[in-house]
Chains A and B, each alone.
Chain A
Amino acid sequence: EAGVVQSPRYKIIEKKQPVAFWCNPISGHNTLYWYLQNLGQGPELLIRYENEEAVDDSQLPKDRFSAERLKGVDSTLKIQPAELGDSAVYLCASSSGLAGVGSEQFFGPGTRLTVL
């Protein structure tokens, strides 16, 4: 069974440019998460979806970040415009069933973003 797929794996852009990350969760997983991870820190939740509904986006900086999961399957996270401080690894994870209710998260390899 394929794991969580993310693309691209690496992205280098100049500040003020837009960037998008794509995630395809494990088949059948209803819950999808986007995290940001800075070097030496733990993952920080940006947004959590149950199917196509964003059930927790309280930590998503909505002035420049947006996300969508239109058909409740794959998802896109966008930053526009990117800032130097957005350089980090962006992780996508998925889980079956309701988030947190005895449900393990499966993580993708992440996208390493460098903003110059």
Chain B
Amino acid sequence: LAKTTQPISMDSYEGQEVNITCSHNNIATNDYITWYQQFPSQGPRFIIQGYKTKVTNEVASLFIPADRKSSTLSLPRVSLSDTAVYYCLVDGGYSSASKIIFGSGTRLSIRP
């Protein structure tokens, strides 16, 4: 059972880089790591996904060390609109020993 652990909350300021780390010590070989963003009264929205090393897209980067027991979501130059809850998810599909567990997420607050 790949449980994830994240900080409950983080604060930052506009224009700063924010890094949110997630621990997933029991990650299985075929598990992917996915990060979602959720605003109030909305469903979660996909941010980025990776398996190992580094992945970058237009909104974020995801760093995964060689042992894959943790991952770090990096948001460059955050703005007020990045205030949301961020979830780390480990999922290898129904054939995997892992179950889909979102955890409680990290509540990110961005200040002017």
Contacts and interface: CB of A to CB of B under 8 A. Distances in A.
Interface in A67-116: 91, 93, 98-102, 104-110
The 5 closest A-B pairs by CB, nearest first: A107-B43, A42-B102, A100-B93, A100-B91, A55-B94
Interface of A: 4, 33, 40-45, 48, 50, 55-56, 58-59, 91, 93, 98-102, 104-110
B94 A56 contact: yes
B61 interface: no
Interface of B: 30-32, 34, 36, 41-46, 49, 51, 87, 91-94, 96, 98-105
A40 B104 contact: yes
A101 B94 contact: no
A4 B43 CA distance: 10
B102 A99 contact: no
Contacts of A101: 30, 32, 92-93
Nearest to B96: A100
Contacts of A102: 32, 49, 51
Contacts of A41: 104
A100 B31 contact: yes
5 contacts: A45-B101, A55-B94, A58-B99, A109-B43, A110-B41
